[in-house]
Amino acid sequence: MRKGSSEQSTTHVSPKLEGFEIKGRPLTGLGLLIASVVGTFAVLIYFGAWAVSDRMEKRVAATESSVAQIEAKWWEDSLLTVCPLH
């Protein structure tokens, strides 16, 4: 950034923004971005829940107890609750 450049402001060509407007909101762009975020969370939840059920099955096998007797951590419970497929 330069100091002492105030003379540029007096000689500039006025931008062609006068009268320029963008009507509407960027719904397509935002919609696609939100769809990607939702899709990514869905992937993470699905594989996260898969990993949790895998871990719990291994714990069941190791302790020779049932799934109901296994004490799940809060994040394991959360992932299994959120994922409709596990």
Please tell me whether residue 38 binds another protein under the rule CB under 8 A. no
Find the shortest distance in angstroms from Cβ 60 to another protein. 16
Please tell me whether residue 51 binds another protein under the rule CB under 8 A. yes
Which residues lie below 8 Å from residue 76, measured CB to CB, with a gap of 6+? Answer: 52, 55, 56
Find the shortest distance in angstroms from Cβ 3 to another protein. 6
Q: Binding residue for another protein (CB under 8 A) from 38, 47, 58, 73?
A: 47
Q: Can you read off the two tokens belonging to residue 41?
A: 């969370």
Please tell me whether residue 20 binds another protein under the rule CB under 8 A. yes
Which residue type sits at 20? F
Polymer length in residues for the chain: 86
